[in-house]
Amino acid sequence: MFNFQNLLERSAFGVSAYIGEKVGIASSRVRLYFIYLSCATFGSPIVIYLFVAFWLNVKKHLKERKAILFD
């Protein structure tokens, strides 16, 4: 069965989970705050979200490369 929430979480880059883990709150609450903040500021937090997603992706690739080089 198609589950929209699972699709969204798989394609959302893990930004909400990362922020929630670092701050110590649930990722669902981070998503909710992001939605509210985006509506209140006409979408400007989307730029921050995309920057963090890019940064996490680069960080993941650097860790993978480091593991390959030192194995």
Domain ranges, ordered by start, for the chain: 4-69
pLDDT at 65: 82
Are 29 and 36 a contacting pair, CB within 8 Å?
Answer: no
Torsion of CA 26, 29, 35, 41, to 10 degrees: -100
pLDDT at 35: 87
Q: Hey, what are 33's tokens?
A: 């705050």
The tens digit of pLDDT for each residue in 15-70 reads 888 888 999 999 889 888 888 988 898 888 888 888 888 888 888 888 888 777 77
pLDDT at 23: 92
